């Protein structure tokens, strides 16, 4: 039994290492307004793709920072794309976006998004791409404006 548990742990760890090292392919995502977003179209800008859900308290916590960051940087050096999962209907998502003053584009999460970027073990999860389109980091859990600005600043050095 002890060997079985050890083998299972090693298998899980090896799978996590493979998932961590796999860089997502360039994506093509359509937002709720019908606009298409590709990684290539934002070359030269940072891109954050944030998975969230309306029922998720940590997601609620990070939205004001993401909105503020997007509003401050959207015309300069950053694009934020929200991807909502596990929602009841579009009206629920729209009401949440209105309540939280979400100004960045939101994509309705589905299998196509997961195939392109990967699944999230936890919500929220944020994929951070540098201006060259390279995946810099996958942040599981709450991300703050301060963290993002630090990563952007560190990469510029």
Query: Is residue 14 one of the residues assigned to a domain?
Result: no
Read off the pLDDT of residues 31-63 as tens digits, 9 standing for 90 and up: 999 999 999 999 999 999 999 999 999 999 999
Q: How far is CA 42 from the centre of its chain?
A: 15
Residue numbers of the domain that contains 83: 25-156
Q: What's the structural domain count of the chain? A: 1
Is 78 contained in some domain? yes
How many whole angstroms separate alpha carbon 74 and alpha carbon 127?
A: 17
Residue 17: per-residue pLDDT:
36
Give me the CATH number covering residue 110: 3.40.30.10
What whole-number distance in Å separates Cα of residue 45 and Cα of residue 3? 48
> What is the rounded distance in angstroms from the CA atom of residue 12 to the CA atom of residue 1?
17
Residue 10 belongs to some domain of the structure: no
In three-state secondary structure terms, 156 is: helix
Q: Give the global pTM.
A: 0.82
Cα 59 to Cα 19, 43, 110, 117, 140, distances in angstroms: 23, 27, 18, 19, 11
């Amino acid at each position: 039994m002890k060997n079985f548990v050890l083998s299972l742990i090693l298998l899980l760890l090896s799978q996590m290492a493979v998932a961590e090292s796999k860089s997502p392919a360039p994506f093509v995502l359509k937002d709720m307004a019908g606009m298409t977003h590709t990684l290539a179209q934002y070359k030269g800008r940072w891109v954050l793709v944030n998975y969230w859900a309306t029922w998720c308290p940590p997601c609620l916590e990070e939205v004001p920072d993401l909105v503020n960051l997007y509003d401050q940087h959207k015309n300069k050096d950053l694009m934020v794309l929200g991807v909502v999962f596990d929602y009841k209907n579009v009206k629920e998502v729209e009401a949440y976006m209105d309540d939280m003053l979400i100004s960045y584009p939101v994509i309705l999460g589905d299998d196509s998004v997961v195939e392109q970027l990967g699944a999230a073990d936890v919500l929220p999860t944020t994929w951070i791409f540098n201006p060259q389109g390279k995946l810099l980091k996958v942040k599981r859990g709450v991300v703050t404006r301060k963290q993002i600005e630090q990563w952007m600043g560190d990469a510029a050095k």
